[in-house]
Every structure is written in C-alpha cells, then in structure tokens.
Amino acid sequence: MIRILIAAAIAMVVSLFLSRTLIFWLTRLKIGQPIREDGPAGHITKAGTPTMGGVGIVAGATAGYVISDLYHGIYTRTGIFVMLSILGAGTVGLIDDWIKVVRERNLGLNKKTKMFGLLLVAVIFAILMVTYSPVHTKISFTRFDYPGWEIGEVLWSLWAILLISGSANAVNLTDGLDGLAAGAAIFCFGAFGVISFWQFRYPDLYDVPHALDLAVISAAMAGACLGFLWWNSAPAQIFMGDTGSLAIGTGLAALSLATNTQLLLPIVAGLFVVETLSVIIQILGFRFFSRRRVFKMAPLHHHFELSGWPETTVIVRFWMMSGLCTALGIGLFYGDSLRSGIVGLIAGTY
C-alpha cells in the first residue's frame, strides 16, 4: 500500500513541475497548439497555447513507477509491458504533436501513419503479454473466469490490438476542452488502482499474480494526470496533445487486459465511450440520412458548448458523468466479488 502511495505522490510532483517547465520553455520558444478552423469560435483564443504536455504525464508516471520500486518493490514482466505500451503510445503522440507545432497547423502525422504507429505498439504489447506474461487469453468482465470465454493467443492478441487502438482514439477524441480528458482519466486510473489492489488481496479468486505492480502503475498514472491538471484546468496553460491522450488511452486498455477486466473498461471509461459514439452517430447521420447532423458538432462536448453551456460547465458536468461511470464500474466489480465464494465468506465475517 505504501508503494502505491509513493508512486502516486512522486508521479504528481514530477508531472506538476515538469509541466510548468514545459510551459516556460515552449512559451519562450513560441511553440503552441494550432486550433482547428472548423471548431467552436470561442476556441480561437486558445491558439498558441503550449502543447505536448503529455510528456509530463508519461514522465511523471514512469518516475513514480520506477522510484517507488525502491520501497520493497518487485518489478513484474506484466507491469513493465504495460509501462512500455504507455511509453510507446506517448512517443507516437509526441511525434505527431511535434510535427503539428513545427508546421504550425492542426495536422501532424497523417491518419495512416499515426494508426500504424499505434498498432505497432499494440502488436508488440500483445505479443509480449501472450509470450512472457501469465495473462489469461479469455474475454472477461470482472475476473478471468467470468464469463471466461477462451479465445486462444491469436484471437486474444487481435482483441488486445482492437481494444488499445479504440481506447487510445476515444481519449484522443475527448481531449477537446481544458482538463476534460485529464480529469476523467484520474477517475478511470483510480478505478483500476482499486480493482488491481483488490485482486492482489485475493489472488486465489482473481489469479493475477502481477496485481500489485498494476496497482502501482494505476496510481502513478492517476497522480501524473492530477499534477498535469493543475496547469491544464480552465483556462489551460498547456495542452496534453496526442502525447498524453494516446498514452492515457493505451494505459487504460493495457490495464484492463492485464487485470482480465476488458468488458468492464467501457463502463469505467464510460465518458470516453459516449464521446466516441457521438462522433460515430454524427458521421452515420450525415452520410446516410440526408446529410443531417444529429449534434450541432461532435464530439459531444462541442454540442453542449454550441448549445450555450459555458466551457467550465461542460467540463464539470462531464467529470461528474465520468465519476458516476467509475463508481458503477467499481460497484459491479465489488458486487461480483461478494457473490463469489471466497470473498463472500471473508466479507461475511466482518
């Protein structure tokens, strides 16, 4: 437990000060985020705000994970693989962000190149997991045997690739308002911290021998997002960019795969799912239903902005929605543990 707290604290402090350093350095070099021309008119004033703040998140989480191991920590292969996937996705995002600021336009890597980089990270993660990690190759909800559909290494790898690419892009779509994605990510990583620590407490039920290491990673990512949010809250002094959004999305998917809770991820990360669905609905409505727009603008947060909600109102209400999704996810996970024999008996003794 102490190592988890140390990881969160170190990650928050490193992210906090590194983000401030990035603001100073990028502002001095006049390197800022270009704003999409077809976005809400009120966002034009944000042009030039420093970006690539995700560097602080990734660096903070890495520092928290590595340094906390000095306190009676034991690295696990699975934990290392999850951290490498976060670093890999963050690197893809960093390249994309750098191209954007150098070219001074809101276009970095083209879609195919960006997706190739992300898929490469996902493929490497999947291969490492099925080859060197004791992960169960099953589709599962709250534990490896529920529902426990065995799909084998090949299909599990394809499932992992799909989950990582989908999650990374979902967070990327949500990152459109000051602090929105970072705040929601704190809830999500907090949930996986609780889940993985609970799995560590009851190894016979969950069979996740690497659970404590995953709890440390979850805490480190939550702490890093919190440190970054200090500067990213409205009005944002720095944006996370694709460096942060791709790393966060990949981290959430990797944790769900490592903890055998893949089907629980869409509930825990419900806000990101809703934002993604709003984009899909908008595209389908425009293409197949007389070019009609279901929303005033997608993703969904822009729809409410154009409906007259102040930006801060949208952010706080969406945070509340994310918190409710996280609470529901933890509730379902805990409820299943009470229905199971081992934990149910233990809980009944108190």
The answer as to whether 289 is a domain residue is no
What pLDDT is stored for residue 350 in this prediction? Answer: 47
pLDDT per residue, tens digit, the chain (350 aa), is 889 999 999 999 999 999 999 999 988 877 776 665 555 656 666 677 888 999 999 999 999 999 998 887 788 999 999 999 999 999 999 999 888 777 765 566 778 888 999 999 999 999 999 999 999 999 999 999 988 899 999 999 999 999 999 999 999 999 989 999 999 999 999 999 999 999 999 998 999 999 999 999 999 999 999 999 999 998 999 999 999 999 999 999 999 999 999 999 999 999 999 999 999 999 988 887 767 788 889 899 999 999 999 999 999 999 999 999 999 999 999 998 888 755 555 555 44
What pLDDT is stored for residue 342 in this prediction? Answer: 57
- Give bridge partners of residue 143 from the DSSP assignment: 146
The answer as to whether 69 is a domain residue is yes
The answer as to whether 345 is a domain residue is no
The answer as to whether 328 is a domain residue is no
Separation CA 87–CA 80 (nearest Å): 10
Model pTM score: 0.92
What are the residues whose beta carbons fall under 8 Å from the beta carbon of 341, sequence distance 6 or more? Answer: none
Place of tokens 């660096």: 59
Task: Give the structural domain span for 24.
Answer: 2-263
Separation CA 298–CA 143 (nearest Å): 35
What pLDDT is stored for residue 40 in this prediction? Answer: 64
Three-state secondary structure readout of the chain: CHHHHHHHHHHHHHHHHHHHHHHHHHHHCCCCCCCCCCCCHHHHHHCCCCCCCHHHHHHHHHHHHHHHCCCCCCCCHHHHHHHHHHHHHHHHHHHHHHHHHHHCCCCCCCHHHHHHHHHHHHHHHHHHHHHHCCCCCEEEEEECCEEEEECHHHHHHHHHHHHHHHHHHHHHHHCCCCCHHHHHHHHHHHHHHHHHHHHHHCHHHHCCCCHHHHHHHHHHHHHHHHHHHHHHCCCCCCCCHHHHHHHHHHHHHHHHHHCCCHHHHHHHCHHHHHHHHHHHHHHHHHHHCCCCCCCCCCCHHHHHHHCCCCHHHHHHHHHHHHHHHHHHHHHHHHHHHHHCHHHHHHHHCC
The number of distinct structural domains making up the chain is 1
How many CB atoms neighbour CB 45 within 10 A?
Answer: 10
The answer as to whether 296 is a domain residue is no
The rounded radius of gyration (Å) of the Cα atoms in the chain is: 20
End-to-end alpha-carbon separation of the chain, Å?
21
The answer as to whether 242 is a domain residue is yes
The answer as to whether 335 is a domain residue is no
Separation CA 135–CA 209 (nearest Å): 9
What pLDDT is stored for residue 35 in this prediction? Answer: 62
The answer as to whether 60 is a domain residue is yes
List the structure tokens of 281.
């609905």
What are the residues whose beta carbons fall under 8 Å from the beta carbon of 298, sequence distance 6 or more? Answer: 278, 279, 281, 282, 283
